[in-house]
Chains A and B, each alone.
Chain A
Amino acid sequence: MQARVLEAYQLHTLIGLLRERGYCCVGPTVRDGAIVYDRIAGPTDLPVGWTDEQAPGSYRLKRRDDGAYFGYVVGPHSWKKYVFPPERRLWQLKRAGQQFERVDEPSQTPKYAFIGVRACEIAALRIQDRVFTGGEFTEPEYEARRELAFVVAVNCTQSADTCFCVSMKTGPEVKSGYDLALTEVVGESHYFTIRAGTDRGREVLASLKTSAVNEAQRSAANTRVRQAAESQTRTVDTEGIKELLQRNYESEQWKEVAERCLSCANCTMACPTCFCSSVEDVADLTGEHAERWRRWDSCFNPEFSYIHGGEVRKTTASRYRQWMTHKLSTWFDQFGSSGCVGCGRCITWCPVGIDLTEEVRKMRAGETS
């Protein structure tokens, strides 16, 4: 389908159409000095006229001199919280004779429309798809939420200092995995180019008031996306990276990074692909009712690797090694791709500014020195 032009003021119509179709719209919004993902009622809930400045260990919101809706990149949240919630009660059981009886009502699967999904985030969702639905077992709740979710993607027209999606070949241009994809152009006029990637996307697009895209409009949109790519300064050389990390289990570099790493788990919480979780079983005082809770967990938590007798990974060095090696290397063995999409969240949200891309560079340098 050809791209069309959607005037900026029509964004509220798009959100309205999605709401009419039963979608709970979630998207970027400003809260506590950051752009987070939350429910949005309309375009005015978006971070209109805001942008972000990111660097290792640093994140600041700043005013733009225009009214752009999507004039920033990614914040501390990612869409995984909607498809794989941070905390879930999985079930409640009671003992009933010779069996367990489920006493909680199976909850209805929420039907989300994700507004403003970036190319790297689509890549992240696809990675989690492989984790939760691509193997022998399927995570039913993830699968149901993911299938229902309507993805309104946005091409990035700027990059943060911490972005490296070009290196990871995930962005900044959205190429697939969306229902609708927008590119925002703010200048003398303010509009989106919009295209549909699925039937349900086409159906919504057909209900919108759009016009044909002219050459100048197409060029303006393409230029902005290209400039976002060209402005990226952070890079990762991915050539042979799987083997690089797996032959460096004993590198001294892990000890060096552990001198800075606080083992705080921020990188794993912010990462859009990290999927580790833990469960806790609890019972009420009578002992007749029990429930199981699942919560996001992190390989940086000491008890994560506990087996009777103690933790397997006692040192921060071993935990950082596990995280980075899993993300960039063993993920290939397990799921057929890298676990990193180059979004840069782990760099921005690391309280001491540890830079994954720099660690890869050092590891390569360490081998040749």
Chain B
Amino acid sequence: MKGLKEVISEHAFFADLPDGDRAIIAGCAQMASYKAGEFLFQSGREAEHFFLLRHGKIALELQAPGQEPYRFETVGEGEVIGWSWLFEPHKWQFDARAIDDTSVVKFDGKCLRGKCDNDPRLGYDIMKRFARVLVQRYADTRLQLIDVYGKQGG
């Protein structure tokens, strides 16, 4: 089986991270897996983790009473999920549920925040990586909002 550092270095999100930094963050990581239908996190709970997806697919959902959960986005192989660990109040805003049997690298947010606080250079690097993903998701959401495939959309 591959070691944690190797798995992290193969994942797109941290692919070009310097070896030294990779060793530092690996200290906050562990392998994990989820069965199809299992929750990775649920809204309102403490957000103390983020996840690099290695295999499988995860849905982000919003729960509403009396209705099917509204599934607005899926995240797949090579992507990252979860940023509430970075920002106060460190609470999940949505539910994340495995659609397939899924394997991930699970990072301990509190651990990583501590390392970033101690080493702002590393903190800035990680912040930029998450910012890039946030900007991408934001752009994707806009396209979803304008209903591009609809009759009015063209």
Which A residues are closer than 8 A to B by beta carbons? 307-310
Contacts and interface: CB of A to CB of B under 8 A. Distances in A.
7 nearest CB pairs, A to B: A309-B152, A309-B154, A309-B151, A308-B151, A309-B153, A307-B154, A310-B152
Contacts of B151: 308-309
Interface of B: 151-154
Nearest to B153: A309
Contacts of B153: 309
Contacts of B152: 309-310
Contacts of A308: 151
A24 to B, nearest CB: 49
Contacts of A310: 152
A156 B83 CA distance: 78
A358 B108 CA distance: 69
Nearest to A310: B152
Nearest to B154: A309
A307 B153 CA distance: 11
Contacts of A307: 154
Nearest to B150: A309
Q: Which of A307, A309, A310 has the most CB of B within 10 A?
A: A309
B148 to A, nearest CB: 12
B152 to A, nearest CB: 5
Contacts of A309: 151-154
B138 to A, nearest CB: 26
7 contacts: A307-B154, A308-B151, A309-B151, A309-B152, A309-B153, A309-B154, A310-B152
Nearest to B152: A309
Nearest to A307: B154
A307 B154 CA distance: 8
A309 B151 CA distance: 6
A308 B152 CA distance: 8
A74 B153 CA distance: 46
A295 B153 CA distance: 30
